[in-house]
Structure formats: structure tokens, C-alpha cells
Copies of this chain bind each other. A is one copy, B any other.
């Protein structure tokens, strides 16, 4: 079961162009492309005639042409040309999905079309603000998206899963605060007077003692934004003054494909050295390495759960964020089922 009536990431802005691209989102097969004016189209990925995936066709002008018999569809999914047919068969149309581009992502609406509201597109904080830069990557992951939500809402795992990069013992030692409302869950952790790990020391351009924060926010359906950073110790970051620090948002959008697979879009929005493309690439490479370590964990969990469906997850203190996030998901699913 998937949460409907939400916007899901279908790709990075640069991934969708004039060549049709296939995506599976919440078990729906979708083809995406851009019109000549770069506006986006998302259609059901199946020609109504002989069921060839339309993603095996090509784009001509603003239309998607089926690769089998040349049926042409416009961006609304209507068949507008049928070679060798005098009249167009009324059933020969495909479902069109609301699709928007925002904050470097292409978003597709899964649910009732009339409820699609661009104002509901999840916010990637600062992603489109001047003075900030945003880049990242993608992984196809063989697990249900919920396991990645758990992972991101409990960063105490960093000490064990990422010991050589971002993990440090202080993460495990400092208890986070968890709070939630009807739409989001936040886990906030402050580590005071710590030696910054190499990544942050480099970016702060200082090895002095720091305060470090990790503020993870889950919002429905499946997104986790993590406000991270360090500031020189005692300069008031926790009280709101980050002027003596560097900060970024670790972006995590998990788009469900099937019950046991998802497509994981990750990246970082930052406000330091934003014109340093080498740094942008370095951060992306480092994130790719870190998230690959997570991928091995969550795929290991999923494989175990598939082998032993009778086994249940146990919840400890550290899982509070994930537990509340899953509770939000379950409530939304239950509400949708009514």
C-alpha cells in the first residue's frame, strides 16, 4: 500500500529531456519527457493499442510517438494521430499525471488528478534560494522506502555504519529530542564542545572546538530533510545565531517503486563555497559513498525480512523518530482507506 495524493520525485531536472524516460512510482509505470519548450509531460507508460511501453518510442515536437505503430499522444494523454486509421479510437488514450519541476527535481502527482496542487510540492529548504547550491545523486534500492526513513530518522547509526567518514562517538552519546505534529516528525541532536570531524573542519576552515547539530525532519509521504552543520563552540548556534558556522541540508527523497524497492534521491543544499564546483563534486562523491554503506544495510534488512516475514522489528529509544514517522504514514494510509 502506498500513500496516494502526494507529489513524488520522478527524477533530477537534468534526467528528463527529449528522450522518453521510464519510471515506476507506487507500482505505476510512467513515462516522462519534455516538450519542445522544456515543459514536462508524464504519461502512463503503455500504448493502449498493443501495450508497448511508450518509453520505447520517441518524442516528436510536443508529442510522444509509439515505437510500434506510430500512434501519437499529446501531453494530456490524448491520441492525436493514428497512421492508417480514419477515426481515432475513443479508448486510445493514456492517463496523464500532473508533473512539475521545482527545486531541481521533477515531481509527479500520484493520486486523484483534481487534488494535485503545486503548492503541496514538498519543500527542499533553500534549494532555489540565492546564495545556496544543491546537487546530489540517485540509488535504486532493494528495500521498501520505510527502512530508509527509519535509517535517516536515527543518525546514531552513523557511528557504526559510517565510522570512517561522518560517524563519531559523540553522536551516539548525545540523546536527541523528538517532536512531532500531524504532518511532520523532527529529531534534533546537539553535540556541544566537540572536535569537528574532517568534513566539517575543512568547510569551517578551523579545527577549533565546535557545536554540531543534526535536525532531521520527516514529512509525508517519504521525505527527510536533515539540517546539519557546525559552529564555533558557544557562539550561539543553538540559540539561532549560525554566523560563526557552516550549514547545509542533507536532502533525502525516497520514491516507492514497489513494496520492496524504491528509488532514493539524495543530495546536499549548502551555503558555503557555493561556486566551488570541485567541492560540489567532492561532497556528492562523499555522499555517494556514505549512502552506499546505508544501502548495504537496508538491503540486508529487507532480504532478511523477506526470508523471515514472521520476524518483527524491535523499537528502542533511538528509534523514536522512525516510530513516529511510521505512525504518521499508517494514519495517513488508514485515513485514505476510510
Contact = CB atoms under 8 A, between A and B. Distances in A.
Interface of A: 29, 45-46, 48-53, 56, 65-70, 82-86, 89, 91-92, 150, 154, 156-157, 159-161, 172-173, 175, 296-297, 300-301, 303-305, 307-308, 311, 313-314, 316-319
Give the interface centre of A49, A52, A161, A303 by most chain B CB atoms within 10 Å: A52
11 contacts: A29-B304, A46-B311, A48-B314, A50-B301, A66-B160, A69-B156, A83-B156, A83-B172, A84-B173, A84-B175, A89-B314
A172 B70 contact: yes
Nearest to A175: B84
A29 B311 CA distance: 13
> For the complex formed by this chain, how many copies does it contain in all?
3
Nearest to A174: B84
Contacts of A308: 29, 46, 51
A185 B307 CA distance: 35
A51 B46 CA distance: 38
A321 to B, nearest CB: 13
Contacts of A82: 316
Contacts of A150: 50
Given A53-B303, A53-B304, 20 more contacts: A29-B304, A46-B308, A50-B313, A51-B308, A51-B311, A51-B313, A52-B300, A66-B160, A68-B160, A68-B161, A69-B156, A69-B318, A84-B156, A84-B172, A84-B316, A84-B318, A85-B316, A85-B317, A85-B318, A89-B314
A52 B304 contact: yes
